[in-house]
Amino acid sequence: MKVSFLIHTIYGIGGTIRTTLNLAEELAGRHEVEIVSVFRHRDEPLFAIDPRITVVPLVDTRPSSPANEKKHERHLQPPEYFPRNEARHQEYSRLTDERVRAHYAGAGSDADVVIGTRPGLVAYVAAFAPAGAVLIGQEHMTHNHHKPELRAEMAGFLTRLDAFVTVSEGDAASWRERMPLPGTRVLAIPNSVPEPVVAPSDTSGTTIMAAGRLASEKQYHVLIDAFAQVVAQRPEWTLRICGWGNQKDRLRKRIDRLGLYNSVHLMGPRSPIEPEWVKGAIAVSTSRHESFGMTLVEAMRCGLPVVSTDCDYGPREIIADGEDGLLVPVGDTDAIAGALLRLIDDPELRRRMGAAARVNARRFDPGPVAKQYEELFAELGAAPTHRSAAPRQTPSAPPAGPVAGPATEGPVAEDPVADCVAAGDGSLTVTLLTPREGAHLVAGGHDFPFDGHGTATVPAGTPFAEGVHPARLRLPGAEGPVPLTTRAVDQRGAMRAAGRQAAGAPVRQLVPYTKGGALHLRSWVRPVHAEAGDIRVEGGRVTLSARLYGAAAGPGGEPALLLRRRGKAPLELAFPGTRHGTDGFRFTFSCTAPAARQQDPHDVWDLWLRPAPAAEPVRLARVLDDVVEKGSLFPYPPAELRKKRPFGPVRAVVRKLAGRPPERVVVRLFHSAANDLVLNVVDVPTA
């Protein structure tokens, strides 16, 4: 049979998109599957799409596209069929009405099952789906989440459906109780999460993972407050939050205000997410409400025990409290911190719960979930032979507009696709999903043959030059090497780089990563290296720690931190420091020192460590982990200072009399593209 999913956009990232693709891919093995994406706002989807699935974009809103239809005359008119109280109502229009109607009225869209994936699209399904098709609405939120006005508006549409599917039994019961739908079957089928393509976490690290939209309902501010309690007792632990959303700036300010910028990192969106989950030892969710909890299942399938708020409705139907995770009250900062510390302080409990999580989460595999949907399709009479010739009764609709043609997305079968794993010893393994006879991996001037199983090994210590090296596949008789598309890149081994550096030996770090969809290797090679540690910015003063690798610190003598200004007026400032152990150092300096010597509106200073008066300075950087570019992910709070100039007091009085604010500068530390530590002194714009 033919199954059609109607979705807002398949080109973004989010739980509805992920679960739609998981179900569609499983069904595609036995049925014809299409995903109708109302909007196309970027060239390529962020998630890989199985080539067996046909993607049909209807309205092109790509900013750079010549066919951009944001200013289309019909797109500037309000929609007739999209519910007025739906959260995305302003994004829909008479044009979207026409395109959806035209697609399902066309000869090429003879779907046997049509599934709407959000309230407004459920309304579209009820109005426009082909005659005789089985109509299914999916509820990816909850009954309680929707405003009463939207629920009232949706009642008429829901009665036209054959089935309405929630993702939790609790929410299905709520719908049945509060909105009886005669003739519409209301039931729960959970979202599906496939088995990860990376090895599970061994829960031995010191990283806590969270993932999801940076939105208010996720209550990341509660998580950050709870983690402040955790890190006060266990300072070696860190928290990584993957995702994007409108709360990012607010969360960043909270992190800075609590002084957690060394320990809490907003990692941005990550796809695929599994290689990030397995870097963690614990997963955490602090949502105010969850219709299901995709991230919980993803983390559990990756072998992580989960701490989650016991919100309606998903978590309590996913987590067996005390067996594979811990449930805590919503918004209870102390309880969240206590649960995290319980798992942190009991490695055996972490390991045991992580193992149970893997086993228990198998019930959410796409196979069993797709089977429930197929059984529902059959019970509702979905089959090509059961298609009715009678037209479905729908409200009158405007004439259909042009329909975007089908477009299959994702890598074609002939593209070389590979997984890459960074091992703890510094070696890499690259495995082709489809082995190629005589294939070689080429990168950075090196050549590594693939064995009969399609695996090539890059030995630890291979002498790559420092820089970025595209990894390519070379085949016998081919004109030249071709890029390797990545499916999953497991960077966990890179997180252990500091522990494997041999005393007195040059520092080598090789991190695999995906760039433009293809495998790349980032190499750092330094005879002597100063790894930056915690950095504190308080009251205009900076305190930083560092550790020296590759050479002994040398006997005696006071270490110094050097600030070296770039540009036409180079200058060096030196600040004394203290030693901590054999290779550790600590320095404190005032931001007023570089600010007082400002030459240009944007001064740039590089930071160097001189371990002893007679020793050669060493560049300060942070490279011994898995993060290839730290600039936006590891920011430090700025120090804003009053600008000091000759005759400064007189100038300040003149500005005050003129009603203009004092001249100020911002001093900010950041990591360059090479992850070297850099300091900026920048003028603050004034009136």
Contact 304, 276 (CB under 8 A): no
As a whole number of angstroms, the distance between CA 316 and CA 333 comes to: 19
Specify the residue for token string 């054959």: 162
State both tokens at 312: 């309606």
DSSP one-letter code for 496: G
124, exposed or middle or buried, with CB in 10 Å at 0-12, 13-18, 19+? Answer: buried
As a whole number of angstroms, the distance between CA 578 and CA 461 comes to: 32
* Domains in the chain, CATH or no CATH each: 2-192+367-386 (3.40.50.2000), 207-360 (3.40.50.2000), 417-526 (no CATH), 530-683 (no CATH)
As a whole number of angstroms, the distance between CA 519 and CA 470 comes to: 6
Specify the residue for token string 């081994």: 493
Cα distances (angstroms) measured from residue 231 to each of 75, 206, 264, 439, 512: 51, 11, 10, 48, 29
Specify the residue for token string 């990550």: 270
As a whole number of angstroms, the distance between CA 581 and CA 546 comes to: 11
As a whole number of angstroms, the distance between CA 566 and CA 187 comes to: 66
- Those residues whose C-beta lies under 8 Å from the C-beta of residue 287, and which sit 6 or more positions away, are 212, 217, 218, 219, 293, 308, 309, 311, 315, 330
As a whole number of angstroms, the distance between CA 428 and CA 386 comes to: 54
As a whole number of angstroms, the distance between CA 278 and CA 87 comes to: 34
CA angle 43, 411, 4 (to 5 degrees): 75
Give me the pLDDT at residue 643, please: 78
Contact 562, 608 (CB under 8 A): yes
State both tokens at 39: 């909007």
As a whole number of angstroms, the distance between CA 360 and CA 296 comes to: 12
Q: Which residues pair with 116 in a beta bridge?
A: 6, 137
Cα distances (angstroms) measured from residue 521 to each of 423, 442, 462, 470: 14, 11, 12, 6
Task: Using alpha carbons, select from 483, 524, 493, 526 the residue that is nearest to residue 630.
Answer: 524
Q: Which runs of consecutive H residues, i.e. helices, occur in 530-590? A: none
- CB crowding 456-490: b at 16 or more within 10 Å, else e: bbbeeebebeeeebbbbbbbeeeeebebbbbbbbb
Residue 512 CA to its chain's centroid (Å): 17
Mean pLDDT by 10 residues, the chain (687 residues): 97 91 97 98 92 97 95 97 97 98 83 97 97 96 93 95 97 95 95 96 98 95 98 98 96 98 96 96 96 95 98 94 98 98 98 98 97 97 56 35 36 73 97 96 98 97 96 93 96 96 91 96 96 96 96 73 96 96 94 95 96 94 97 94 59 44 86 97 82
Residue 188 CA to its chain's centroid (Å): 28
Helix (H, G, I), strand (E, B) or coil at 313: strand
Task: Using alpha carbons, select from 607, 599, 584 the residue that is nearest to residue 668.
Answer: 607
Q: Which runs of consecutive H residues, i.e. helices, occur in 486-578? A: 497-500
Helix (H, G, I), strand (E, B) or coil at 258: coil
As a whole number of angstroms, the distance between CA 106 and CA 506 comes to: 66
Give me the pLDDT at residue 179, please: 94
As a whole number of angstroms, the distance between CA 331 and CA 335 comes to: 9
State both tokens at 416: 């070389």
